[in-house]
Amino acid sequence: MKDLKNNEPNIFVIFGSTGDLTYRKLMPALYNLHIQNLLPKDFSVICIGRRDFSNEDYKENVKKSLNKFSGNTFDEGKWEKFSLIFNYLKLDFVNDKTYGSLKNSIDILCDKYKYQENIMYYMAVAPEYFSVIAENLNKNGLVCKEKGIKRIIIEKPFGENLKSARELNEKITEIFTEKEIYRIDHYLGKEMIQNIMAIRFANPILESIWNNRYIDNIQITSNESLGVLTRGRYYEKSGALKDMLQNHMLQLLTLIAMEPPTSLDTESIRDEKVKVLRAIPKVDEEFVKNNIVRAQYLEDKGKTLKAYRDEENVSKDSNVETFVALKCFINNYRWTGVPFYIRTGKRISKKITEVVIEFKNAPFVLYNNENNIQPNLLVIRIHPDERIFLNLNVKKQGNENEIIPIQMDFCQNCHSVVSAEAYEKLMYDAIRGDSTLFTRWDETEFSWKFVEKISDIWSKRDIPLYTYESLSNGPEEMNEFLHRKNMKWWDF
Ligand SMILES: NC(=O)c1ccc[n+]([C@@H]2O[C@H](COP(=O)([O-])OP(=O)(O)OC[C@H]3O[C@@H](n4cnc5c(N)ncnc54)[C@H](OP(=O)(O)O)[C@@H]3O)[C@@H](O)[C@H]2O)c1
C-alpha cells in the first residue's frame, strides 16, 4: 500500500452538499472511512448548499441519509463523533461575491485547529458548474498552493462531447495542475475492477495465455434492467454511447487489454491504459456500419413498462440509443486478430456487469463437437456479485464418455465480506493523494474522440436505430457481427 499520509487534506469542501450524490454516496463513504479510522486525524468538512439550513438541520439530514444508505454500519455513538466534522455553509456558488464567506470559514477552521490550508474541493454539482466554481475559487484566492495542497475532484460527465470536455479541461488546468485534478469514474472504485489487474498480473498462469494465441474473443457487458427513470433530460443528450461507453466500458477495456505496467505507480498504469486506446483502429463509416449496433427499448411483453419514447422528458420521436453493442480490435502485438465485443443497455432482462474471456478450442477435438463441448471461459463478474469463475470441461460420471462443463468459482461477496462501496475507495484514495483510479486527461480525451466519431457518423449517415422489447436480451441485430458461426454472446 502506498504511504501518502503527509499528503492529506485538512479541509474537505463539498459543493452540492444537499444533492442526491452527497447524501446517497459521499456521506456514507465518509462515515465508513471514519468508523475504520481512515480519515485524516485533523479533518473538517465544509458543506456548501444554497438552502437556509442551520448546522444542526444539515447534520440531521446527513444522519437520516446515513441511516438509509450506510449499509447497516450506522451507530449512534460513532455518529456523535463523526457529526463534529461538519460545517454547513450557505453560499450561491455561481456568485463570485459570496466566496468571501467560504474563505472566512476556512480561516476560522485553520485558526481553531491549527490546520495547514490543505484543501480538497469536491464538485458534486451539475457539470455546467465545474469550471464556474473553479474560476470563482481562483478569483477569491482559494487555490493558493503556497499555503498548502489543493485538489479538485470532478464528477462525471467530464464534458458533453470532445469540444466541451476540452474547454472544461482548459479552464480547470489554468487553475489546477493535472496532478491536482481527480476525474471520477466510480466504476474504477469497484472492488472487482481493481481486482482485474491483480488477477492478470499476480497469476503467471493466466498472463502467459492472455494473448491472441490462446484467446478467441473477449466480451464486456454492462446491462441494467431499469429504464432511464427520471434522467430522461440528461439521457436525451448522452444516450448509451456517451453515458456508458465513453467512460466505464472503455475503462474496462483498457484494464483487460493493457500491457503490464513497469510498476504499480499511478502514471505507469495510466500510460499503459492510454496505449490501449491509441491502438484501437480509426473509426470511419465502414467501421460504424459493420461493427456497431444501436437500439432503443420498446414496451415489455406485458406492456407494463414504458417504451423509451414515452418516458418523462424524452422526445416522442427520439433517436437516442438506449443500447449499443460494438466489435473492435486492438492493433498491437498481443491482441491483433482478437475481437473485443462490448455491449451496454438499459431495460435488458438482467442487470449485470461482467467480462468473459473466451479461449480458443483445442486444434483438434478428441472429444468431438457432437458433445457440444463449450470453450474454456474465464468470467470476471463485477456486478451484482463479485466473482471470478473458470468454465472447464470434465467427463460426466458414468459409463458414457459424456463431457460436461463445470465452473471453478470464487465469489468475493457471497459470504460475510461486504466490499467497500466504490465511492469509499475513491474518497480514501483522493484523500491520500493517490489518483491511480481516476482518469487522466489523455484517457478522457481519447475516449471522447472515439465516441464522438461514432456519434458524428450516426447523425450524418443513414444508420439504422433498431428496437428491442424491454426486459429482453437486447436487439437481435447484435448477433450479426459476431465473427464465427455458432458463436454467441455469453449470458450467465
Ligand atoms: N446522483 C448520483 O448518483 C450521481 C452518480 C454519478 C454522477 N453524478 C454527478 O454528480 C453531480 C451531482 O449530481 P446530483 O445527483 O447530486 O445532483 P443534484 O441532486 O441536482 O444536486 C446538485 C446540488 O447542487 C446544488 N446547487 C445547484 N445550484 C446551486 C447554487 N447556485 N449554489 C449552491 N448550490 C447549488 C443543489 O442545491 P439544492 O439542493 O438547493 O438544489 C444540490 O446540492 C452531477 O454532475 C452528476 O452528473 C451523480
What CATH number does the domain containing 451 carry? 3.30.360.10
Instruction: Look at residues 176, 131, 167, 256 and name the one whose alpha carbon lies nearest to residue 448.
Output: 167
Task: Map residue 178 onto helix, strand or coil.
Answer: helix
Cβ(127) to ligand 1 under 6 A?
yes
Question: Rounded to the nearest 5°, which phi and psi values hold at 425?
Answer: -65, -45
Residue 181 lies inside a defined structural domain of this protein: no
Q: Whose CA is nearest to atom 1 of ligand 1?
A: 21
Q: pLDDT band at residue 12, thresholds of 50, 70 and 90?
A: very high
> How does strand 387-395 pair with strand 44-49?
unpaired
Q: Whose CA is nearest to atom 18 of ligand 1?
A: 19
Residue 490 lies inside a defined structural domain of this protein: no
Q: Whose CA is nearest to atom 10 of ligand 1?
A: 124
Do 31 and 115 share a domain, yes or no? yes
Question: By percentage, how much of the chain surpasses pLDDT 70?
Answer: 96
The closest-lying atom of ligand 1 relative to the alpha carbon of residue 51 is: 40
Do 76 and 198 share a domain, yes or no? no
Q: pLDDT band at residue 365, thresholds of 50, 70 and 90?
A: low
Cβ(354) to ligand 1 under 6 A?
no
CA of 178 to the centre of ligand 1 (A): 24
**pLDDT of residue 370 exceeding 80:** no
Do 350 and 474 share a domain, yes or no? yes
CA of 17 to the centre of ligand 1 (A): 8
**pLDDT of residue 121 exceeding 70:** yes
Cβ(21) to ligand 1 under 6 A?
yes
Query: What integer pLDDT is reported at residue 3 of this predicted model?
Result: 44
What distance in Å separates the CA atoms of residue 371 and residue 369, rounded to the nearest whole number? 5
Strand partners, 90: 49
Cβ(20) to ligand 1 under 6 A?
yes
CA of 21 to the centre of ligand 1 (A): 7
**pLDDT of residue 371 exceeding 90:** no
Cβ(229) to ligand 1 under 6 A?
no
Average pLDDT over residues 71-77: 84
Give me the sign of the Cα torsion angle 106, 110, 111, 112.
positive
Neighbours of 423 (CB within 10 A): 21
Residue 177 lies inside a defined structural domain of this protein: no
Q: pLDDT band at residue 4, thresholds of 50, 70 and 90?
A: very low
Query: What integer pLDDT is reported at residue 363 of this predicted model?
Result: 72
Lowest mean pLDDT among 174-178, 234-238, 482-486: 482-486
Q: Whose CA is nearest to atom 21 of ligand 1?
A: 19
Residue 162 lies inside a defined structural domain of this protein: no
Do 338 and 461 share a domain, yes or no? yes
Predicted confidence (pLDDT) per residue in 32-55, tens digit: 999 999 999 999 999 999 999 999
What distance in Å separates the CA atoms of residue 285 and residue 457, rounded to the nearest whole number? 6
List of residues 6+ apart from 89 with CB closer than 8 A? 46, 47, 48, 49, 101, 102, 105
Predicted confidence (pLDDT) per residue in 277-322, tens digit: 999 999 999 999 999 999 999 999 999 999 999 999 999 999 999 9
Predicted confidence (pLDDT) per residue in 225-246, tens digit: 999 999 999 999 999 999 999 9
Domain count for the chain, please give it: 2
Do 406 and 469 share a domain, yes or no? yes
Residue 161 lies inside a defined structural domain of this protein: no
The closest-lying atom of ligand 1 relative to the alpha carbon of residue 95 is: 31
- 19's torsion region: left (phi>0), alpha (psi -120 to 50) or beta? beta
Q: Whose CA is nearest to atom 44 of ligand 1?
A: 126
Do 150 and 197 share a domain, yes or no? no
Average pLDDT over residues 266-286: 96
Task: Map residue 339 onto helix, strand or coil.
Answer: coil
Average pLDDT over residues 96-121: 95
> How does strand 119-123 pair with strand 150-154?
parallel
Query: What integer pLDDT is reported at residue 418 of this predicted model?
Result: 62
Task: Map residue 389 onto helix, strand or coil.
Answer: strand
- Which of 484 and 209 is assigned the larger pLDDT? 209
Cβ(18) to ligand 1 under 6 A?
yes
CA of 26 to the centre of ligand 1 (A): 12
Q: List, in sequence order, every beta strand (DSSP E) within 91-209.
A: 119-123, 150-154, 181-183
Q: pLDDT band at residue 364, thresholds of 50, 70 and 90?
A: low
Nearest 5°: CA angle at 274, between 271 and 277?
A: 160
Residue 400 lies inside a defined structural domain of this protein: yes
Cβ(92) to ligand 1 under 6 A?
yes
Tell me, what amino acid is at 85? I
Query: Reduced to 3 DSSP states, what percent helix, strand and coil does the chain have, rounded to the nearest 5?
Result: 40, 20, 40
Do 138 and 208 share a domain, yes or no? no
**pLDDT of residue 362 exceeding 90:** no
Query: What integer pLDDT is reported at residue 403 of this predicted model?
Result: 84
List of residues 6+ apart from 40 with CB closer than 8 A? 5, 8, 9, 10, 431
CB 134 within 8 A of CB 175: yes
Predicted confidence (pLDDT) per residue in 127-147, tens digit: 999 999 999 999 999 999 988
Active-site position among 34, 186, 248, 483: 248
Q: How far, in Å, are 125, 200, 250, 343, 382 from residue 445 at the CA level? A: 22, 26, 12, 21, 25
CB 436 within 8 A of CB 273: no
Predicted confidence (pLDDT) per residue in 387-439, tens digit: 999 999 988 888 887 888 899 998 877 765 566 789 999 999 999 999 999 99
Question: Global pTM?
Answer: 0.93
Query: What integer pLDDT is reported at residue 137 of this predicted model?
Result: 98
Range of the domain at 335: 188-419+439-479
CB 448 within 8 A of CB 161: yes
CA of 136 to the centre of ligand 1 (A): 18
Assigned C-alpha cell, 30: 465518509
**pLDDT of residue 367 exceeding 80:** no
- Strands, sheet with 403-411, edge to edge from the N-terminal-most edge strand: 403-411, 387-395, 377-383, 352-359, 215-223, 340-345, 323-328, 292-297, 466-468
Which of 107, 137, 155 marks a domain boundary?
A: 155
Do 105 and 45 share a domain, yes or no? yes
Residue 160 lies inside a defined structural domain of this protein: no
DSSP conformation letters of 454-468:
HHHHHHHS----EEE
> How does strand 11-15 pair with strand 119-123?
parallel
The closest-lying atom of ligand 1 relative to the alpha carbon of residue 24 is: 3
Cβ(49) to ligand 1 under 6 A?
yes
Query: What integer pLDDT is reported at residue 369 of this predicted model?
Result: 58
Please give the distance of CA 58 from its chain centroid, rounded to a whole number: 29
Give the orientation angle of helix 27-35 with respect to helix 422-432, to 10 degrees.
70
> How does strand 11-15 pair with strand 44-49?
parallel
> How does strand 86-90 pair with strand 44-49?
parallel
Do 134 and 241 share a domain, yes or no? no
**483 is annotated as an active-site residue:** no
Cβ(170) to ligand 1 under 6 A?
no
**pLDDT of residue 72 exceeding 90:** no
Query: What integer pLDDT is reported at residue 74 of this predicted model?
Result: 87
Which of 155, 180, 210 marks a domain boundary?
A: 155
What distance in Å separates the CA atoms of residue 29 and residue 420, rounded to the nearest whole number? 9
69, 89, 125, best to mutate for ligand 1 pocket (most atoms within 8 Å of CB): 125
18, 21, 98, 244, best to mutate for ligand 1 pocket (most atoms within 8 Å of CB): 21
CA of 97 to the centre of ligand 1 (A): 21
Lowest mean pLDDT among 361-375, 381-395, 444-458: 361-375
Residue 172 lies inside a defined structural domain of this protein: no
Query: What integer pLDDT is reported at residue 373 of this predicted model?
Result: 84
Cβ(155) to ligand 1 under 6 A?
yes
CB 223 within 8 A of CB 351: yes
Q: Whose CA is nearest to atom 17 of ligand 1?
A: 19
Cβ(259) to ligand 1 under 6 A?
no
Question: What average pLDDT is seen over the chain?
Answer: 93
The closest-lying atom of ligand 1 relative to the alpha carbon of residue 123 is: 11
